[in-house]
Amino acid sequence: MGKKILVLHGPNLNLLGEREPEIYGKMTLAQIDEMLRGEAKKLGAELTIFQSNHEGEIVDQIQKQGKPHDGILINAASLTHTSIAVRDALVFTGKPVVEVHLSNVMKREEFRHHSFLSDIAVGVIMGFGPASYRLGLEALVETLSAKR
């Protein structure tokens, strides 16, 4: 049966396309979501996609939607580096998590080098621009299929 994947985008990712394009590229979030939906179709997966600039809304969404989904693909953006609340909510779901970033955060400021999510994630994909999401989705679906 097709896997149900919850895709979460954190703060400021709604600005993609106009936000620091030299770092994040020119693709808008709507275009990334469209690409992901196309990829999901190929993989036979079903996506629920949510973006918020508010930590509490992301936590609420993980609490409500985590359990009814099979896995979570998340770019928590700046919350990656600050949010124990997002981490705790992800742990609560008990579902496999794949962390993605457009940029290679290890090449950037030191405050981006720490993630509160990486050690509870199945894996992390970063630095490939929008393709990080596609690769992350593939990796998550493959992980879930291996579990069958």
Residues that bind ligand DQA (CB under 6 A): 12, 75, 77-78, 80, 101-103, 105, 112
Closest to ligand DQA by CB, 23 or 41: 23
With CB atoms as reference, the residue minimizing the distance to ligand DQA is 77
Q: What is the CA radius of gyration of the chain?
A: 14
Closest to ligand DQA by CB, 4 or 53: 53
Closest to ligand DQA by CB, 15 or 142: 15
Q: Which of 147, 52, 44, 24 is nearest to 94 (CA)?
A: 147
Active site residue ranges: 24, 101
Min dist. Cβ of residue 117 to ligand DQA (A): 10
Min dist. Cβ of residue 96 to ligand DQA (A): 19
- Sort strands 46-51 and 97-101 into parallel, antiparallel or unpaired: unpaired
Alpha carbon distance 26, 76 (integer Å): 19
